[in-house]
Amino acid sequence: MRFLLVFLVVLLLAWRWRAWREAKQRDRQASAKPRTTEMVICLQCGVHIPVQEAVIGAKGSYCSAAHRLAMEP
Ligand SMILES: [Zn+2]
C-alpha cells in the first residue's frame, strides 16, 4: 500500500513537471516571433503608416480619409 502511494506521488510530480516544461516551451516559441508592424505608404503624401491605421481605397492605402478623397473622388 505504501509503495502504491509513493508511486502515485512520483507519477503526479512527473506529470506536473512535464506540463510545466511544455508551457515554458510554448512561451519561448511565442516570444521568439518577431514583433513587427507592417507599414504602408500613403499614395497622396507618401507618409508611412501602420497598416491597421491606414485608410484603404480602391487604388491603395492612405493616411486619412481626406487624402483618399483627394486621390479617389
Ligand atoms: Zn497622406
Q: How many A from CA of 6 to the centre of ligand 1?
A: 70
CA of 36 to the centre of ligand 1 (A): 22
CA 48 – ligand 1 centroid, Å: 9
Reported confidence tier of residue 32, pLDDT bands at 50, 70, 90? confident
Nearest to 73 by CA among 59, 27, 3: 59
In the reported structure, the alpha carbon of residue 35 is separated from the centroid of ligand 1 by a whole-number distance in angstroms of 25
pLDDT at 48 > cutoff 80:
yes
Q: Long-range CB contacts (< 8 A, 24+ apart) of 30-39?
A: none
Average pLDDT of span 30-50: 89
* Centroid of ligand 1 to alpha carbon of 34 (angstroms): 28
Q: Is the pTM here over 0.75, yes or no?
A: no
C-alpha 12 to ligand 1 mean position (Å): 60
